């Protein structure tokens, strides 16, 4: 009976973790739609700075008892935190918001879904991590999805949509680099401290261009844009990140990777329902290819990790005296 209760409890925790991951990815996907609304009313750098200022204010209560961790950070850790802020927040948001000037939220949301495939490819190039056959197929599927939506978007919407897609693609590369830089210090810097410091570094980087944007504004910021900035900072940044980091360690890599498919799906759904953007057949095909790439890549990573664990256990068994 106790064993059944324990198994039921573990199952509940896994289901809860999966739900948290999906909610985190849906919130991340909603940032594309909110960003599309923001760029119509607020300059890019000012919008990015405002949302990060809100996020940093939310992080302060969580950091009250962790200031000693910041004092103990090494020069190497500060460098990687700065690089995370530069790539994962500053460049990611700037590229995304500028890209949304030229392309629709539907198309942008689908392209951001290629992040797991791009991460697998960059991990192979920069970290020397092995690429399984499934991972290669997953990357190819994700890239095929991007090609489909961009080829037909260019036919229907001209070169501006292609430029916008390229900017969103650059944002995806920056997001993947953010994860790689996080891996470098994940064992020595907690997720909460990591988040607070990189947001602070990002605010410093964006302060000057945001002040420039503010000085050039001739009209005030509308109330809708203020609400969008608050949502971007609280929900699409802080809550999404905390939900993901709290739950990702409780599930397998394949499950976490598959959960990221909720990001492009939520972006597409919200863009259609909230912004009223049209959904074309090439969007659907591209989205399905990218989701298939996410799942295939995640399964490939999970099987590789499992094989490495089995090989390590065999080695231990061989060298352990009977």
Angle formed by the axes of helices 223-233 and 44-62, nearest 10°: 50
Tell me the HSE value of 314 on the side-chain side, using a 13 A CA sphere: 6
Q: How many domains does the chain have?
A: 1
- Rounded mean pLDDT, 38-54: 91
Percent of the chain with pLDDT over 90: 22
- Model confidence at 132, pLDDT cuts 50, 70, 90, reads confident
Tokens of 218: 């001739």
pLDDT (tens digit, 9 = 90+) per residue, 258-276? 777 788 888 888 888 888 8
Nearest alpha-carbon partner for 192 in 286, 64, 8: 64
> Is 2 within a domain?
no
> Is 12 within a domain?
no
- Is-contact 246 286, C-beta < 8 A? no
Tokens of 291: 């989701």
Nearest alpha-carbon partner for 131 in 120, 119, 117, 140: 120
> Is 176 within a domain?
yes
- Asked if the model's pLDDT at residue 304 lies above 60, the reply is no
> Is 4 within a domain?
no
Top mean pLDDT of 100-104, 229-233, 311-315 is at 229-233
- Model confidence at 316, pLDDT cuts 50, 70, 90, reads very low
Question: 87 or 138: whose pLDDT is higher?
Answer: 87
CA distance 85 to 24: 20
> Is 10 within a domain?
no
pLDDT (tens digit, 9 = 90+) per residue, 194-211? 888 989 999 999 999 999
Model-wide pTM > 0.75:
yes
> Is 1 within a domain?
no
- Model confidence at 9, pLDDT cuts 50, 70, 90, reads low
pLDDT at 213: 92
CA distance 36 to 315: 53
Q: Would you mind telling me the total number of residues written for the chain in this entry?
A: 322
Percent of the chain with pLDDT over 70: 84
Tell me the Ramachandran region of residue 276: left when phi exceeds 0, alpha when psi lies from -120 to 50, beta otherwise: left
> Is 211 within a domain?
yes
> Is 22 within a domain?
no
Residue ranges making up the domain that contains 114: 29-319
pLDDT at 319: 38
């Amino acid at each position: 009976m106790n064993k059944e209760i324990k198994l039921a409890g573990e199952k509940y925790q896994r289901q809860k973790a999966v739900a948290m991951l999906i909610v985190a990815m849906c919130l991340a996907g909603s940032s594309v739609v909110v960003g599309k609304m923001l760029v119509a009313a607020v300059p890019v750098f000012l919008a990015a700075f405002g949302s990060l200022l809100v996020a940093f204010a939310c992080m302060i209560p969580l950091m009250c008892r962790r200031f000693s961790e910041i004092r103990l950070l090494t020069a190497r850790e500060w460098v990687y935190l700065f690089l995370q802020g530069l790539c994962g927040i500053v460049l990611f948001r700037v590229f995304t918001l500028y890209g949304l000037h030229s392309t629709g939220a539907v198309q942008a949301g689908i392209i951001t879904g290629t992040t797991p495939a791009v991460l697998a490819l960059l991990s192979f190039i920069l970290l020397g991590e092995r690429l399984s056959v499934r991972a290669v197929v997953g990357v190819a599927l994700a890239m095929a999805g991007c090609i489909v939506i961009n080829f037909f978007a260019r036919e229907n919407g001209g070169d501006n949509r292609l430029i916008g897609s390229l900017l969103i693609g650059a944002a995806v590369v920056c997001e993947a680099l953010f994860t790689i830089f996080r891996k470098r210090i994940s064992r020595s810097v907690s997720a909460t401290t990591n988040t607070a410091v990189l947001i602070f570094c990002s605010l410093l980087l964006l302060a000057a261009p945001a002040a420039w944007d503010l000085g050039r504004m001739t009209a005030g910021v509308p109330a809708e844009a203020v609400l969008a900035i608050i949502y971007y900072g609280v929900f699409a940044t802080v809550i999404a990140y905390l939900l993901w980091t709290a739950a990702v360690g409780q599930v397998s890599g394949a499950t976490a990777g598959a959960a990221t498919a909720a990001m492009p799906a939520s972006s597409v759904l919200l863009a259609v329902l909230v912004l009223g953007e049209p959904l074309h057949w090439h969007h659907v095909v591209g989205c399905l290819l990218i989701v298939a790439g996410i799942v295939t890549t995640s399964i490939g990573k999970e099987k590789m990790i499992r094989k490495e664990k089995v090989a390590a256990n065999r080695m231990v068994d061989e060298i352990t005296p009977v």
